[in-house]
Amino acid sequence: MQQQTDKTQNFCRYFAEYPIIQCADSSFSLYNTHYQQGYHSKSLGAYNETLYKHIVPVMLFQESLHSHSLHDFPSKLVALMKNPQSFNHHDNLSNLLRDLPRFRPLRILDICFGLGFNAFMTLHYFVDCEIYSPEKNNLLKTLRSFPYPAEFASKARDILENLDTNGVYQDNNQILYFLHGDALEFLQTFPKGFFDVVFQDAFSQSQNPELWSIHYFEKLFALTANRSIITTYAKAKNILESAQYVGFKAVKHALGSVFFKDYSQ
């Protein structure tokens, strides 16, 4: 408890009941006093963390799928993550993705919605997607005035309003479902092999153990498609081992890990 008091003394502004954090990349995040953990890494930043730990690995994976080989995906990912800023300069995969033929939208499980960064940035880059975001702590009303990065701030307010009113946001070939409640219960409701992507972005395993257990990874394995990817900030040995134990290939990189499947049919 003493530790929490000391930590929160460093914050001078609050958003709703949570201290607000200005990150190194000048984006903002929050410190969750219940979980005693920030929603994002302060040193990398909410914006950069979302882009480099989740969006970019998925883009690279999709691009590798498009070129019909996941063989060199791990080495490409490890090289890119040593200098992820280089991504914007010479690997404009987002343009390429717009032209990729897809027989259906990319299905994404977003564990969990939190402040919505992963969901909003996905809607910014992936024109054809279905996002399912469980979240037990509904902050939708207050988040409408959250200082999001300029790139998606006004869109975020529109999305949050729709989610708060209807539980869903839809625009052309994009759909985002806010699933209010326990993620584990929602997982029971999806068919096998449903998801192409999972953003594994729960709080840490010490604070949020139900979303890092072997049993949980078994569920993810059942719910993901034959060629699918899980992105995460986590790098702990036991987490990589759990993912491998249930059948995923695991790749640790400079900023986190990815777990993926590569079965042809």
Ligand X SMILES: C[S@@+](CC[C@H](N)C(=O)[O-])C[C@H]1O[C@@H](n2cnc3c(N)ncnc32)[C@H](O)[C@@H]1O
* Residues contributing to the site for ligand X (CB under 6 A): 39, 50, 112, 114-118, 134-137, 182-184, 201-203, 208, 210-211
Please state the closest distance from residue 206 (CB atom) to ligand X, in A.
13
Give CA–CA dist 71/47, Å, rounded: 29
Closer residue to ligand X, CB minimum distance, 8 or 208? 208
Please state the closest distance from residue 199 (CB atom) to ligand X, in A.
6
Element (H, E) at 227: strand 224-232
Give CA–CA dist 205/198, Å, rounded: 17
Closer residue to ligand X, CB minimum distance, 97 or 115? 115
Please state the closest distance from residue 85 (CB atom) to ligand X, in A.
20
260 strand-pairing partners: 229, 249
Give CA–CA dist 147/50, Å, rounded: 16
Please state the closest distance from residue 184 (CB atom) to ligand X, in A.
6
- Residue least distant from ligand X (Cβ): 114
Nearest residue to 54 via CA among 142, 118, 105, 141 = 118
Please state the closest distance from residue 112 (CB atom) to ligand X, in A.
3
* Placement of tokens 């902050």 in the chain: 139
Closer residue to ligand X, CB minimum distance, 93 or 115? 115
Nearest residue to 56 via CA among 261, 255, 263 = 255
Give CA–CA dist 258/249, Å, rounded: 8
For residues 134 and 172, the answer to whether their CB atoms sit within 8 Å is: no
Closer residue to ligand X, CB minimum distance, 73 or 126? 126
Closer residue to ligand X, CB minimum distance, 205 or 208? 208
Please name the residues in contact with 104: beta carbons below 8 A apart, sequence gap of 6 or more.
none
Please state the closest distance from residue 70 (CB atom) to ligand X, in A.
25
Closer residue to ligand X, CB minimum distance, 37 or 74? 37
Give CA–CA dist 22/43, Å, rounded: 10
